[in-house]
Structure 1
């Protein structure tokens, strides 16, 4: 029975990694090929309404509309420098494009009764309504497509419309925005990836000791990223935000693990060990730190999956999966690649190009109380300020940003025709009179631009049966009627929310049951409500998850608190900056980056604390702090700068507002986390040194008691190996008097 427990499972794993390296290489090579193939089938979603829970009022209404009327794509086009007659010809040509269902203009909205004769003379268009459709030699039309906003048929139809109108056209609307997002994403992410790789390579060249090492690190991360992207196929589709930020974040966050392993290997190699023996020892020594950092990051990302607004699930799963795959790639594949490339690494060796100032540690230790006092002083107002930001929530906030053609076109259309924000009321089709009365009451509201329903456009005495089916099916389905309501606001504003609530109240007055109001504004209202609730829950959950992992790793209750304090303060600082700068924030980025910054940068605190505990075993606390700073700051700077550069690359290269905003928060947050960990954590470790060891000693004593009870019960006490903590507890007793 004793022989059964002599070989540890960890030894079996290490032996497998080292001795079966060829099989491991073949496995990862096959996985890369399969993943590249699977990636071709990963769909990207651009519609945020898909992530609303089915219980949300706007989602219930959307599902009902899709069932009764379908969910076609829509766009708005303004044709410049045309006569009224030319505008009619353009409309006719656009309506004939494959993929276009209906083009709503003056002759199909307020003048439905003249659909048979409207093309014979301009006199059939009512003068009082023409300014909504034709003004300053410009015609504006609303296009409804056969398929959805993101469908390829809709995209091809838009391309054809671009050809028809040429430079006379200005385009806006969901279908246009989705097409722009798709094209921008494909183009910009390629350039962003190239820039990130170049910047990461530069940082690694400056901080490593061989020219080949950066290539090795990038190869390992590239393999992990390809596998992660390919396995996304099992999710069916991912959001455009996930597709944009996940590969960059995976590289930036997981690069640490490769550096940890290589550093451990180099130390053993320099100590005279043969490469195979050195890599075995390196795996054993670094695996615990790599897994601890990885698990803390994974737990932080998994907290996102519990958001009710399920884009968090989408992003959280992909990021957590990416970190897990990175862990496996580093621990299983990288040892083989290190051994295989040993000769080349030695041939390309060079001195470290950038070194820390020798007096850095003493300088940080000297200002420890100033750093702590300043951090506490600033943390309180920043904590308050971060929740006082002006937030944006909806689809319009995450789309094309300033400087893009879509943004310019939208501004130009709004300048001439004013804002036109469409809401749709779905009501039971049980009373023509009641539908007419509702339409008329809505039309009298000062903020309503126009109302289109079948009953308020049909002349009195004209039966519905004489209207073409393509017109009636847009507004009546048999069971439900649809009323189109255009209000003079942006999709997202306090006024838009107030007006939507007013319209909803009027609709419910006529139809207390089985009625819905949907549109970009109502979707945004629901997104706002759900995200605000999600933030409090997810923020606390990610913090608790990281703390639990740290408790398990360090066997202490105090250390986890000290670990997260610098990161949380850095998050407060990062999220308060937009408030003090007077900038709007996209709330979705706010909640997601809060979790990402905690999950991605808590590794810096874990690494520094690990070093401190190691040095503290044989040095006094002052010398231990100095050695810790000297050992921990370089890898922290490496990792933090890589993450920061990755974030700022997204910020400067992406025209997609949400992605650019997330990149800015990530880039700035990484720099602030570096500053807080390097300046604040040494002060906390120094000040709480005595209590840290008191906690560790107490935890080890409890563990010793539990271990002895188990050994006595199993009568195997003589063969149970001592853990590192058991051995260290003896040394700790000798250090306690120091404090």
Structure 2
């Protein structure tokens, strides 16, 4: 099968290039028209009561995203005029201010205390802007542009909608630099490690076609992806699959020494396809593990990357060989010597001291685990955004005047009586962390007939079958006291499940924390189990999956825990993404070393494991180094180019993880394999037998 495919690729190389170029047209269209979702909370699972409540709030009350606007040194008349102007903007559902609940001509000192505390502080007043659609929609984005155009001095506009609109603008301006940095850094790396300056161009061209195909498919398969996926998928796909192309290039050079170019390429494809497919399977398994997450962003990133690896493999086995054959005369013209360090001296030292190194390997799990379990994880989305965004700076200014701007929404349907609703509200009002509850049942006496209730009160708090109340919080969304308060409210309304819902930004963010914590454990278990099974089948061994997965897990624990020792925090996305990405993309380093070790054992007459390991490290060290640096080079540019801390921290951890995995595989894994060589031989089908007493010179 592989032989037939290889001969077909060689024969149809011009057709393959033409078809690839033609398919770029619809793929490029799809990539440019894929909708980017900037709201992470939109990926929370629909089964959560908070998400169901938010949907009711959106549908019944027309509430999408919510923004806050502080006016400084404005009279009530000026504030009311601005409010009316904002309400005329397309995309704005309502602007809530004191005039909705009391006559604007009434002096502040005569207003009820709860209204004064809600809307006034010193010389400032606060408005709440409800949008018709979700915070990250294009309609909301356009409304925000219009709002900003009518705001003058002394106004401070903040909240999730303006923050996401500004994030969109910043990311769109930065993304071209992500691609440019990835290409430039990778070109430099490959230019040093490959024997021709043209080969890196052909490799990047082939994988770039695969990236466009992959990102373009998102449009035809659903039409949207998260901004995190949009920002990192291309660079990550380049870094993860780069070593597949290096496998092919090296094998072709080897075959070309004794064969014509067509025969050499056919044999190179046939011989490397199995190794590439095995390596791709481990990467795909790691990415697919993220699709088991309840948080939809994991499935978005995981499926996009798994699909990208598969498409890259197709391009590396078809388009890249075609380009190499077509441009071979120019490849030879631009040849140069490579700059790959020798690993012979290092290999001898590792083999000579393998027992102490094995002890070090075991001991390193202790600080790695301590760091991993102790690192501070940041879930506060505001902290993970660029701090130079106007919405973030305005929020800081608002919080200095109104320390608590957080609110939650309690939604109850008409199956609850007025007495039941009042009882629930009274219980909530007594909780620590609740400043006040504003709603139909707190503003309108139950004895007042509905016909006498002002229409503006009805519109704000009673629609269709639902009543909603705004719970003003004393503390921030990520304060432990707010978490306890949310849990207490959920306990109060639990007997009314399906009829009473607690939602709002603070509640959704609290659910984000619990969802990610559960997802992280699930992703880790699935990715480890899947890759364990792949190695088990590939090597027909019980010991090797344990050793190889254990080695990469040490690297992962160190990567995740290193921020604890550096006094840094880790973004929440790292808790589930790094483990799957690092395991899936760097386990290949370990597989490459073990495969070469097995070959060297089988090749030697003495079957001495020490000599075999020394040769294995010397032979595979350069390839492992190139693979790790390829992943590092592809993503480190995003960290350098972005001001978005969530993206910067994520890509820095991926790049750092590649180097940590490189260190573990080259420096520690050989010692582990040597120390446990007897165990490996006994539990591995077809493992070469060796003679422990045989010695080979190590110097």
TM-score under structure 1 normalisation?
A: 0.87
Contact 1:426–1:481 (CA under 8 A) maintained in structure 2: yes
**C-alpha distance 358-385 of structure 1, shift in aligned 2 (>3 A):** closer
1:55 alignment counterpart: 47
- How far the C-alpha of 1:539 sits from its partner, in A, is 0.8
Bigger CA drift: 324-333 or 131-140?
Answer: 131-140
Alignment of 1:652-671 (within 5 A): 652-671=640-659
- How far the C-alpha of 1:568 sits from its partner, in A, is 0.9
**C-alpha distance 507-308 of structure 1, shift in aligned 2 (>3 A):** closer
Map Cα deviations across residues 343-401 of structure 1 (whole Å, 9 max, x no partner): 1110100111353365232233344333322221120342244133333446556x514
Aligned with 1:76: secondary structure? strand
- Aligned with residue 224 of structure 2, among 211, 215, 237: 237
- Aligned with residue 572 of structure 1, among 557, 564, 569: 557
2:161 alignment counterpart: 175
d(CA) in 2 for partners of 1:662 and 1:181?
Answer: 17
Contact 2:63–2:130 (CA under 8 A) maintained in structure 1: no
1:607 alignment counterpart: 592
Bigger CA drift: 151-160 or 515-524?
Answer: 515-524
Aligned with 2:125: secondary structure? strand
- How far the C-alpha of 1:573 sits from its partner, in A, is 0.8
Map Cα deviations across residues 439-472 of structure 1 (whole Å, 9 max, x no partner): 4554455532332212323478765556665652
d(CA) in 2 for partners of 1:672 and 1:634?
Answer: 16
1:35 alignment counterpart: 27
- Give yes or no for the alignment of 1:537 onto 2:522: yes
Aligned with 1:481: secondary structure? strand
Bigger CA drift: 586-595 or 436-445?
Answer: 436-445
2:390 alignment counterpart: 405
2:84 alignment counterpart: 92
Bigger CA drift: 543-552 or 17-26?
Answer: 17-26
1:44 alignment counterpart: 36
Contact 1:647–1:663 (CA under 8 A) maintained in structure 2: yes
Contact 2:433–2:482 (CA under 8 A) maintained in structure 1: no
Aligned with 2:259: secondary structure? coil
2:11 alignment counterpart: 19
Contact 1:404–1:655 (CA under 8 A) maintained in structure 2: no
Aligned with 1:360: secondary structure? helix
**C-alpha distance 460-199 of structure 1, shift in aligned 2 (>3 A):** same
1:473 alignment counterpart: 459
2:214 alignment counterpart: 228
Q: CA RMSD in A?
A: 2.7
- Aligned with residue 493 of structure 1, among 474, 479, 500: 479
2:99 alignment counterpart: 107
Aligned with 1:680: secondary structure? helix
- Give yes or no for the alignment of 1:633 onto 2:659: no
- How far the C-alpha of 1:506 sits from its partner, in A, is 4.3
- Aligned with residue 360 of structure 1, among 346, 353, 362: 346
1:516 alignment counterpart: 501
Contact 2:6–2:266 (CA under 8 A) maintained in structure 1: yes
- How far the C-alpha of 1:547 sits from its partner, in A, is 1.6
**C-alpha distance 372-131 of structure 1, shift in aligned 2 (>3 A):** same
Aligned with 2:151: secondary structure? helix
Map Cα deviations across residues 247-269 of structure 1 (whole Å, 9 max, x no partner): 11101100111111001111222
d(CA) in 1 for partners of 2:39 and 2:578?
Answer: 20
Matched positions, count? 690
- How far the C-alpha of 1:425 sits from its partner, in A, is 0.6
Map Cα deviations across residues 383-437 of structure 1 (whole Å, 9 max, x no partner): 244133333446556x514343332222221111112211111113454455456
- Aligned with residue 312 of structure 2, among 326, 338, 347: 326
Aligned with 1:426: secondary structure? strand
d(CA) in 1 for partners of 2:39 and 2:123?
Answer: 34
**C-alpha distance 603-450 of structure 1, shift in aligned 2 (>3 A):** same
Aligned with 1:107: secondary structure? helix
Bigger CA drift: 154-163 or 347-356?
Answer: 347-356
**C-alpha distance 538-169 of structure 1, shift in aligned 2 (>3 A):** same
Aligned with 2:374: secondary structure? coil
Contact 1:439–1:453 (CA under 8 A) maintained in structure 2: no
**C-alpha distance 15-90 of structure 1, shift in aligned 2 (>3 A):** same
- Aligned with residue 188 of structure 2, among 188, 202, 210: 202
Contact 1:396–1:491 (CA under 8 A) maintained in structure 2: no
Contact 1:693–1:736 (CA under 8 A) maintained in structure 2: no
d(CA) in 2 for partners of 1:643 and 1:168?
Answer: 48
Contact 2:35–2:224 (CA under 8 A) maintained in structure 1: yes
Contact 2:3–2:266 (CA under 8 A) maintained in structure 1: no
**C-alpha distance 261-473 of structure 1, shift in aligned 2 (>3 A):** same
**C-alpha distance 31-392 of structure 1, shift in aligned 2 (>3 A):** same
d(CA) in 2 for partners of 1:36 and 1:471?
Answer: 50
**C-alpha distance 278-486 of structure 1, shift in aligned 2 (>3 A):** same
**C-alpha distance 118-169 of structure 1, shift in aligned 2 (>3 A):** closer
- How far the C-alpha of 1:280 sits from its partner, in A, is 1.3
Bigger CA drift: 37-46 or 155-164?
Answer: 37-46
**C-alpha distance 58-576 of structure 1, shift in aligned 2 (>3 A):** same
2:278 alignment counterpart: 292
- Aligned with residue 584 of structure 1, among 569, 578, 586: 569
Structure 2 unmatched runs, 5+: none
d(CA) in 1 for partners of 2:254 and 2:246?
Answer: 12
**C-alpha distance 688-444 of structure 1, shift in aligned 2 (>3 A):** closer
d(CA) in 2 for partners of 1:445 and 1:549?
Answer: 52
d(CA) in 2 for partners of 1:450 and 1:590?
Answer: 36
**C-alpha distance 491-651 of structure 1, shift in aligned 2 (>3 A):** farther
- Aligned with residue 212 of structure 1, among 191, 198, 208: 198
d(CA) in 2 for partners of 1:20 and 1:500?
Answer: 64
1:420 alignment counterpart: 405
Contact 2:379–2:572 (CA under 8 A) maintained in structure 1: yes
Map Cα deviations across residues 134-180 of structure 1 (whole Å, 9 max, x no partner): 33433321101122212222111111111222453323212122212
d(CA) in 2 for partners of 1:262 and 1:202?
Answer: 17
**C-alpha distance 10-163 of structure 1, shift in aligned 2 (>3 A):** same
- How far the C-alpha of 1:567 sits from its partner, in A, is 0.8
d(CA) in 2 for partners of 1:677 and 1:167?
Answer: 59
Structure 1 unmatched runs, 5+: 1-8, 701-728
Contact 1:104–1:142 (CA under 8 A) maintained in structure 2: yes
- How far the C-alpha of 1:210 sits from its partner, in A, is 1.1
TM-score under structure 2 normalisation?
A: 0.92
1:304 alignment counterpart: 290
1:191 alignment counterpart: 177
- Aligned with residue 160 of structure 1, among 105, 129, 146: 146
1:5 alignment counterpart: none
d(CA) in 1 for partners of 2:254 and 2:105?
Answer: 84
Contact 1:647–1:664 (CA under 8 A) maintained in structure 2: yes
Map Cα deviations across residues 182-202 of structure 1 (whole Å, 9 max, x no partner): 222222222222112111111
- Give yes or no for the alignment of 1:82 onto 2:74: yes
d(CA) in 2 for partners of 1:599 and 1:324?
Answer: 13
